[in-house]
Amino acid sequence: MERTLAIIKPDAVKKNNAGDIIAMIQQAGFKVLAMKQTRLTPAQAGAFYEVHKERPFYGELCNFMCSGAVVPIALEKENAVADYRALIGATDPAEAAEGTIRKRFASSKGENAVHGSDSVENGVNEVAFFFSESEIAANNA
């Protein structure tokens, strides 16, 4: 079993698309290990996207991720990381395949509805960024 972290981003939460996105994730066979709605501080957004700090869009990305509530979701499935990346589609919705979450709900390369971990190692680390093991265990006892 693998873990991956989904985040429903502020654009999708504001448009009331969280429920439809969670339904697509569950219908694709992912188990929700833990989930919450929260608002990131600038420090949290900066730390979460630290890997992108040299990229030109880093400031814009951090501002956007703090602009409203987000819904982080810890997911579990066999092949979760790759399968979830396939479900969300390309970063740029113009390039996202039909039937993907980003094709349906993203409005631009920046405001693209959802986050997804990009490796098995990052899946574990990003789940731990938002959820403790005891919280996950309590949710699934």
The least CB distance from residue 114 to Mg ion, in Å, is 11
Where does the chain have alpha helices with state H?
10-14, 18-27, 42-48, 58-65, 80-88, 101-105, 120-130, 133-139
Residue 20 or 118 with smaller CB distance to Mg ion: 118
Active site residue 52: no
Distance of CA 25 to the CA centre of its chain: 11
Among 118, 122, 128, 136, binds ligand ADP (CB under 6 A): 118
Structure tokens at 105: 């709900």
Examine residue 135 and tell whether it contacts ligand ADP (CB under 6 A).
no
List interacting residues with Mg ion (CB under 5 A): 118
Among 8, 93, 115, 127, binds ligand ADP (CB under 6 A): 115
From the CB of 109, what's the least distance to ligand ADP, in Å? 5
Tell me how far apart the terminal alpha carbons of the chain are, to the nearest angstrom.
Answer: 17
Smallest distance, Å, CB 30 to Mg ion? 18
CB of 68 to ligand ADP, least distance (A): 14
Count Cβ atoms within 10 A of the Cβ of residue 109 and give its class: 0-12 exposed, 13-18 middle, 19 or more buried: middle
CA distance 16 to 10: 10
Alpha carbon 76 to its chain centroid, in Å, reads: 13
Q: Which of residues 14-53 bind ligand ADP (CB under 6 A)?
A: 52
Q: Which of 35, 115, 123, 130 is catalytic?
A: 115
Enzyme catalytic residues: 115
Binding site for ligand ADP (CB under 6 A): 52, 57, 60-61, 91, 109-110, 112, 115, 118
